[in-house]
Structure 1
Amino acid sequence: MPIVPDFPDPGGDARSADHHLGPGGSGAADGATARLGGPLFRDDDPQEPMPTPPPASPRAASQPPQKKKAGRDLRAAIGVGVGLGAVIVASLFVVKALFVGVIAVAVVVGLWELTTRLQERKQIKAPLVPLAVGGAAMVVAGYLRGAEGAWVAMALTALAVLVWRMADTPEGYLKDVTAGVFAAFYVPFLATFVALMLAADDGPQRVLTFLVLTIVSDTGAYAVGWRFGRHKLAPRISPGKTREGLLGAVSFAMVAGALCMQFLVDGGSWWQGLLLGLAVAVSATLGDLGESMIKRDLGIKDMGTLLPGHGGIMDRLDSLLPTAPVVWLLLVLFVGSG
């Protein structure tokens, strides 16, 4: 997910709503337990009637409610976000090949986080070495050889996972290689579409459009959901997400899409940007919900701790990864492959 500060959920669309539930989403259950403490009915314990709480003092009643505090270190989050943004923009517009390296590094770190959490929480040993080597090769092949090169690299990576895992015991082979193939598709293959966008003549502008729209979508969802969110979007997956937040994401992304397609992308027009923004808002939301499902199944708040105030690399890529192929495809349909 792009860089948006995390705050506690007030009923709105906060990006880190899962983090307040604890492992396995047990926050609501804990709250219910606290509310049900003591006898459930008045006559459960007739010898000891429930005490009457003392009346609140006028001074306490007159005090204004305390301001909600951020769930994470906001200063660290902003600092890390600015630093990452500077690295991305500099590498994107200075040398294209340098940005390909940035994508490959993010892929390798993301794979490490994902495979580590799978082994810690589910005892699934997805082989990291063939995934890391194949993932980096996938990104480079996509940039140099296009979609065909990405598919070939994906197939070879899956084959390498199958063979590498044969060196271990047969127990758990099927679940390990299944998780390995899933990881290869989820992280490097989806990230390869960013390299495909970059390969166009106006590649930096296309990638910047992709990044801006995803960030604006997440920011719109957060801002509108925090202020106006009342109706839950997917309470079993991410209780902080609301329908109002989704509308905010769509509105913000469509406006940003119209501006980016009109002024950044060669041959683009504003109405194409409206459609692009709508698609980005939907795919980014689904990507965020998808990773929330994974983290809930694993019983964790974050995929890692590498980025202070943000969690891990995978916690920043959750909405970017599924959005990349959507943006690539629509840009090819609208203005060609470049």
Structure 2
Amino acid sequence: MNDSSWGAPQGAGYRAAPEMGVAPAGPAYDVHEAQQTRPMPNVPDVPDAGRDVEADAVGRDRRNGDAAHVGGPLFRDEMPQEPMSTPLPSPPQKKRAGRDLRAAIGVGVGLGAVIVASLFFVKAIFVGVIALAVVVGLWELTSRLREQKGINAPLIPLAVGGAAMVVAGYARGAEGAWVAMALTALAVLVWRMTEPPEGYLKDVTAGVFAAFYVPFLATFVAMMLTSDDGPWRVLTFLVLTVVSDTGAYAVGWRFGTHKLAPRISPGKTREGLLGAVSFAMVAGALCMEFLIDGGSWWQGLLLGLAVAVSATLGDLGESMIKRDLGIKDMGTLLPGHGGIMDRLDSLLPTAPVVWLLLVLFVGSG
């Protein structure tokens, strides 16, 4: 290496330092320059363990060129630095599910047993189960709105009107559901008038939204039940929705690489959507062929496709609400699942879709 590569100062009037033990020659060599370029005293050769030539070069460069670079080892104040070891790569992490699967399966089986028992033995009890789920869902939704956004949607008129909406849909059909929905919205407007006007508009808007989103959509499940084969229609609706969610989870967890809607729900993938469609179409063909009076397998394929799409949109809609609120789950009532609303997210928007397609395919009787 030459001096320039070691960072020595260069410029006009620069001359190399004299070799050790050799007197400077020529008039250009003056006292000042001798002071700036005088060599280090000779010292015994002592090995500088753990350091290399470039490390000494860096140290001398930092002294702003106050000494000429000369050969031979130099004493340094710094301790020798140990060479840095390259960190070992971490072992690949095994893909894990996001929830407690044992708790989720146990709760799911328990809820399924209650629903099926009430569905096929006493229809009125099943209507009561729907109404109870609606009231709990409204409580979760209004509680999160109040805690996270300061929105005070009135719970009492929503709970009373929501339960009445489900019963009216079962007793009087779509006409009864619409009348109950209108009365519930009116009750929300009047109830909120008893409080200060600040925030009135956002509170009643959230209340009307909650009335439509939870009890009104759930009313279509009660209306399915009024048909002669009502329990089988409701069972088909539940089976297809659960199968769609299961197919999306299983395929997405195993093969999912392309995000479906990363800004809304990062865990959902396009592969998972294909799994939901495939599973739901197969289940729909079987259900329409063997469970629904007058149904055929090709109708089941269309029904399964529609269920997979509506269930996915419902799940994304719920995820959008939770992301806006800054929460992971709507509640903690169901271990392994979250809250009631976290289980109703795909069921609610799917209920009117299944009700309408079954009416078109096999009638309302």
Class of the TM-score when normalised by the shorter of the 2 chains: 0.7 to 0.9
Q: Which residue of 2 aligns with 1:258?
A: 285
Where do residues 1-338 of structure 1 align in structure 2 (5 Å cutoff)?
A: 54-56=85-87, 65-338=92-365
- For 1:145-189, what per-residue CA distance to the aligned partner results, in whole angstroms no more than 9, with x for missing partners? 000000000000000000000000000000000000000000000
Distance 2:177 2:320 in 1: 27
What amino acid is aligned across from residue 54 of structure 1 in structure 2?
Answer: S
Q: Which residue of 2 aligns with 1:34?
A: none
Q: CA deviation at 1:53?
A: 6.0
Structure 1 stretches of 4+ with a deviation exceeding 3 A read 64-70
Higher relative contact order (CA 8 A, sep 6+): 1
Distance 1:53 1:239 in 2: 38
Q: Which residue of 2 aligns with 1:14?
A: none
Distance 2:353 2:83 in 1: 60
Distance 1:69 1:55 in 2: 29
Distance 2:279 2:83 in 1: 50
Distance 1:206 1:113 in 2: 28
What amino acid is aligned across from residue 146 of structure 1 in structure 2?
Answer: G
What amino acid is aligned across from residue 303 of structure 1 in structure 2?
Answer: M
Distance 2:149 2:87 in 1: 49
Q: Closer, same or farther in 2 for the Cα pair 1:232/1:53, shift >3 Å?
A: farther
Q: CA deviation at 1:66?
A: 4.6
- For 1:106-162, what per-residue CA distance to the aligned partner results, in whole angstroms no more than 9, with x for missing partners? 000000000000000000000000000000000000000000000000000000000
With the length of structure 1 as denominator, give the TM-score of the two structures: 0.82
What amino acid is aligned across from residue 316 of structure 1 in structure 2?
Answer: R
Structure 1, 134-143 or 216-225: larger mean CA deviation = 216-225
SS state of the match for residue 117, structure 1?
A: helix
Distance 2:216 2:93 in 1: 46
Aligned-pair identity in percent equals 89
What is the aligned residue count? 285
Gaps of 5+ in 2: 1-61, 63-81
Q: Closer, same or farther in 2 for the Cα pair 1:79/1:52, shift >3 Å?
A: farther
Distance 1:128 1:323 in 2: 25
The alignment's C-alpha RMSD in Å is 1.6
Distance 2:189 2:309 in 1: 34
Q: CA deviation at 1:56?
A: 4.8
Distance 1:153 1:170 in 2: 26
Q: CA deviation at 1:231?
A: 1.5
Q: Closer, same or farther in 2 for the Cα pair 1:55/1:330, shift >3 Å?
A: same
Distance 1:323 1:52 in 2: 63
What amino acid is aligned across from residue 230 of structure 2 in structure 1?
Answer: G
SS state of the match for residue 268, structure 1?
A: coil
SS state of the match for residue 197, structure 2?
A: coil
Q: CA deviation at 1:79?
A: 1.4
Larger Rg: 2
SS state of the match for residue 199, structure 1?
A: coil
Gaps of 5+ in 1: 1-46
With the length of structure 2 as denominator, give the TM-score of the two structures: 0.76
